[in-house]
Amino acid sequence: MPGVSSRGRGRRTINEINMVPFIDVMLVLLIIFMVTAPLITPGVINIPSAGKSSKAPDKLINVMIDAEGQLTLDGEVKLGKTNEKEALAAIKQALEANPEMPVMLSADSDLRYQQVISMMKQLRAAGVDRVGLAVK
């Protein structure tokens, strides 16, 4: 019997596992994957696009952030280049007359994403209910 070994005092089972067949199978699978991996073409990734509304709002405030982090207000409130405090004060003043007015935030593509999120948080803290991101 192959599973039995005699070592002097009778029959005893061998408690060892033969690893050679396992290693052979793993090497064959490794070779198969190495040969087939360059032949597989990567799939196409469908990136979702931003939806378009049927009608743009009549009055809105555009907050544009350039690559240096300077703010420009346009739309209902026109300030030109300004800092965050002045921009938030002007937006609050415009929202007193119309609290449902949307604020569109657009940023330069070279700007860090954290700065855009920070501006969105400040707009929310200022009481803006409708904040949107402008995409191109």
Per-residue model confidence (pLDDT) at position 108: 85
Handedness of CA 111, 114, 120, 122 (dihedral sign): negative
Look up residue 1 and give its two tokens: 């019997």
What is the Cα–Cα distance from 125 to 112, expressed in whole angstroms?
21
Q: What is the value of pTM for the model shown?
A: 0.53
CATH 3.30.420.270 domain range(s) in the chain? 61-133
What's at 36, amino acid-wise? T
Per-residue model confidence (pLDDT) at position 24: 96
Look up residue 86 and give its two tokens: 């002045």
Q: Is residue 106 left, alpha or beta, with left meaning phi > 0 and alpha meaning psi from -120 to 50?
A: beta
Per-residue model confidence (pLDDT) at position 7: 54
Per-residue model confidence (pLDDT) at position 50: 66
Per-residue model confidence (pLDDT) at position 45: 77
DSSP 44: P
Q: What is the mean pLDDT of each run of 10 residues along the chain (136 residues)?
A: 57 82 96 92 75 69 82 72 80 83 85 86 86 76
User: What fold, for 61-133?
Assistant: Nucleotidyltransferase; domain 5 (3.30.420)
